[in-house]
A and B are shown apart, each in its own frame.
Chain A
Amino acid sequence: MSTAARTTWLRELIRKPFFWGVIAIFALLALNVIKDPNYLALSVNPVNGNLVGNVVDILRASAPILMIAVGMSLVIATGGIDLSVGSVMAVSGAVAMVFMKDAGQSGSVGVALGAIGLALLVSAILGAINGVLVAYIGLQPFISTLIMMLAGRGIAKVITEGQNTSATNDPFRWIANGFVIGLPVVFLFAIIIVIIVGLVVRRSALGLMIEAIGINPKASRMAGIKPTGLLLTVYILSAVLAGVAGIMSVGTVMTVDVSRTGYQMELDAILAVVIGGTSLAGGKFSIGGAVVGALLIATLDKTIVFLGISSSATPAFKAIVIVVLCLLQSDRVRGWFVQRRKPPMLRTPSLPAEPKKQEVSA
């Protein structure tokens, strides 16, 4: 009896789309521990009482990915995609840096808040343009946000006049590098924002409606849902979250490098969403899954550095991990495993598929 109950419980857990993401995080951490048994060790900095350690670094690095992954999961749930998040990060970072550089006053909280407010406002405007193109003009989300992805870098360059721009502002810097009760501020901020977004989406009917239009846009329209306002909201939200990610990202070094900040982050965000179990076809989404996905991407990035994998092999290593993960999530592959335990019938056709997929992704 109890064995049966445990089996169903386990099976339920394995069914959770982000189960393999969690497993992968632990596997990567284990890999690092094999290389250095002290990898997981946390110590307290005796001067300021902050926690120091690799795990803390991972959490800090995950903050911007968390932001864009959560926004992306909502966009993808509507059946769309937002390729512009990386560029919006650059624009947001550029706006903040240029504002603070011009304002001076390196200790002023007001200047920091002004920079953040302006950066988020500009991000929201870019998101609104995406939203209008998709919802009112009816362009394909891929195209609309691809335009914004290209235009965004250009806008960032115009704002900074093409220069890497640095500024000094201690309150702003604190957001990315500070600690509260021993934990990195940036991660706390990220988690708080994720929780707020999660609450808004699930406690209001926003989540239900996003899922409805993602699953069946026609039926949703017939049920009286107006998709335009909803899509606009979602694209603005995604861009604002990207703006937050941009602030976190430039805050670490207090410099915006318009060609590097947020570069290819849209791909990380999409991967995080997929790893979290949200289908790219739209419909049901999981914010918890996106969080797991973002943490996994951050862990993976840090692991690559820690294991000393040469930078030329980095994309391939990343691709392999993600392909394996996607294969584990695929119902068909799982079907093969089930069948393999019984008669090993469909084994042969399953094998050629794997190396092929890896090549494509790498």
Chain B
Amino acid sequence: MTEPLPIVEMRDISIEFPGVKALDGVDFRLFQGEVHALMGENGAGKSTLIKALTGVYKIDGGSIIVAGQERQFHGTRDAQSAGVSTVYQEVNLVTNLSIGENVMLGHEIRGTFGVNWRATHAAATDALAKLGLEYLDTHKPLSTLSIAMQQLVAISRAMAVKAKVLILDEPTSSLDAAEVEGLFAVMRTLRDQGVAILFVSHFLDQIYAISDRLTILRNGRYEGEYLTRDLDRHALISKMIGKDLGALSSLGGNRRVEQRDYDAEAPLLAAKGLGRQGSIEPTDLDIHTGEVVGFAGLLGSGRTELARLLYGADRAGEGELTLHGKRVDLKNPADGLGKRIAFSTENRRDEGIVADLTVRENMILAIQAERGWARPIPRKEQDELVEKYITALNVRPADPNRLIKNLSGGNQQKVLLGRWLATKPELLILDEPTRGIDVGAKAEIQEAVAQLAEDGVSVVFISSELEEVVRLSERIVVLKDHQKIGEIVNGPGVTAQQIVDVIAAHGVAAAAESDIIDAEADVEPSNDPDTAHTPASAEEES
């Protein structure tokens, strides 16, 4: 039991933002020569913890001990000089400088007459060689490299300052399977050199492939630290979600569904091999009139990416989309809207509301866009429309002339829902419509969705809360690692647990017996969680 001293120890860390306790008494340890995964759902406090460790945020309580010494970080420079280096989700490099300059930026080797570029490039080559990248020409501009290679350059930049601790925040989110393997090879090399690596990823397979130990956070609290090999996927997911799987099982599919004959009925929308490189593998999907289809999967599973293709928010790179049996090519959201498709984004603040406009203006924006600016909606019609949806969706305060930014999140969401309903969609895609809003508003939005389906509108419902998906959907499409891995027809016997099963056991075992239509049929059972491979993508296209 002679455990070595951790290189980083964070004890009882608390960070408060106005009105929110972002971290509440979190402990975290990081040892030399290990890859340590930090796990948790969105908003669990992962990024906040990392920012505390890198000196971006000041901690309100607790202590940070690096290499046996208690430290007070007043900025990222302090953290760096203590040997903590970070590679963020978006690569923070200067693309129009050379590779060598990027690696050595701020640490150029100085000679008598300013920077000694020859020595600097030599040092850069050395740093790259440590990661097995000595073949890169340090004089070439960084922009000649792929994102994946840039990421590796970013890592060697972090290592050039002789970092003892390397933090990789979602480094794999935009990489393909082969690139992920390359990154993992570099991570293993560094680990064997004694570097402590903190790794964040939403891909469970990657966690099992690379990490030695993991710490789970939930709602800003410390949930536990485990050896990765001791914790199976079920246990991991339920600890992240915070619900006992037993409790999940007790929730039934409340939605009464008349059995559809899916083969006989022509679908409203059919996708065949619809995909886009780097965001979603080719996917087949049918959506029928008046049907609620749930997309289930963790964040980064490809659920949003797939939905964006159905609206035209992103243009599909491959495959075809048919609507009412006719082939359509959605180049932009306006095309989707023109085909009576509406998409409510998960990113309410950035892609949803226009903050400085009023509730009324926000609500009519989509129909006005569809009509064009030359045909304004008469004020009387606007008022009737806005009045109608404010009442129907119970927007509070019921004042159409208030700026939308002054409404609560739930009411903003209702206004946006009103915006999309006003376009009279045949297909309404709701991406996380209930995230971050209070319970009352949540129930009202769920009711609205059920009512819509009754009225013959097809709905795609995306939510991280599986209970919600199960409660509302007739069919559930399960996604993982940027691909569709299964489809479940909802019924009284279907529970949130079965979806967790399908996600966790993807490739290992066929999940919920007869309810699964076409899941797993052609996936060979070799994707054992213990093998070091990431079954993330390309080879498995169906």
Query: When the two chains form their complex, are residues B351 and A222 in contact, meaning their CB atoms are under 8 A apart?
Result: yes
Alpha-carbon distance between A208 and B338 when the two chains are bound, in angstroms: 20
A208-226, CB < 8 A from B: 208-209, 211-212, 215-216, 218-226
Alpha-carbon distance between A206 and B373 when the two chains are bound, in angstroms: 5
B305 CB → nearest A CB, Å: 15
Alpha-carbon distance between A196 and B185 when the two chains are bound, in angstroms: 66
A95 CB → nearest B CB, Å: 29
B361 CB → nearest A CB, Å: 6
Quick check: is A342 within 8 A (CB to CB) of the other chain? no
Query: When the two chains form their complex, are residues A205 and B354 in contact, meaning their CB atoms are under 8 A apart?
Result: no
Query: When the two chains form their complex, are residues A222 and B343 in contact, meaning their CB atoms are under 8 A apart?
Result: yes
Q: Which of B50-58, B220-228, B252-260, B329-337 contacts its partner?
A: B329-337
Query: When the two chains form their complex, are residues B354 and A220 in contact, meaning their CB atoms are under 8 A apart?
Result: yes
Quick check: is A230 within 8 A (CB to CB) of the other chain? yes
Quick check: is B377 within 8 A (CB to CB) of the other chain? yes
Q: Which residues of B contact A43 (CB under 8 A)?
A: none
Pick the residue among A203, A205, A215, A222 that contacts B368 (CB under 8 A). Answer: A205
Alpha-carbon distance between A224 and B423 when the two chains are bound, in angstroms: 11
Quick check: is B133 within 8 A (CB to CB) of the other chain? no
Quick check: is B383 within 8 A (CB to CB) of the other chain? no
Bin chain A's interface residue count. 20 to 34
Q: Which residues of A contact B366 (CB under 8 A)?
A: 223-224
Q: Which residues of B contact A204 (CB under 8 A)?
A: 373-376
Quick check: is B137 within 8 A (CB to CB) of the other chain? no
Alpha-carbon distance between A335 and B376 when the two chains are bound, in angstroms: 39
Pick the residue among B356, B369, B375, B419 that contacts A225 (CB under 8 A). Answer: B369
* Most chain A Cβ neighbours within 10 Å, of B361, B371, B372: B372
Quick check: is B91 within 8 A (CB to CB) of the other chain? no
Query: When the two chains form their complex, are residues B353 and A219 in contact, meaning their CB atoms are under 8 A apart?
Result: yes
Quick check: is B365 within 8 A (CB to CB) of the other chain? yes
Alpha-carbon distance between A203 and B338 when the two chains are bound, in angstroms: 24
Alpha-carbon distance between A283 and B338 when the two chains are bound, in angstroms: 26
A280 CB → nearest B CB, Å: 15
Query: When the two chains form their complex, are residues A209 and B369 in contact, meaning their CB atoms are under 8 A apart?
Result: yes
Query: When the two chains form their complex, are residues B361 and A219 in contact, meaning their CB atoms are under 8 A apart?
Result: no
Alpha-carbon distance between A225 and B368 when the two chains are bound, in angstroms: 8
Alpha-carbon distance between A303 and B333 when the two chains are bound, in angstroms: 52
Alpha-carbon distance between A310 and B372 when the two chains are bound, in angstroms: 52
Q: Which residues of B contact A216 (CB under 8 A)?
A: 350, 353-355
Q: Which residues of B contact A215 (CB under 8 A)?
A: 354-357
Query: When the two chains form their complex, are residues A222 and B419 in contact, meaning their CB atoms are under 8 A apart?
Result: no
Quick check: is A153 within 8 A (CB to CB) of the other chain? no
B57 CB → nearest A CB, Å: 25
B484 CB → nearest A CB, Å: 24
B311-368, CB < 8 A from A: 313, 332-334, 336-338, 343, 345, 350-357, 361, 365-366, 368
Binding site for A on B (CB under 8 A): 313, 332-334, 336-338, 343, 345, 350-357, 361, 365-366, 368-377, 419
Binding site for B on A (CB under 8 A): 203-206, 208-209, 211-212, 215-216, 218-226, 230, 283-284
Closest 5 CB pairs of A and B: A224-B369, A224-B337, A225-B369, A205-B373, A205-B376
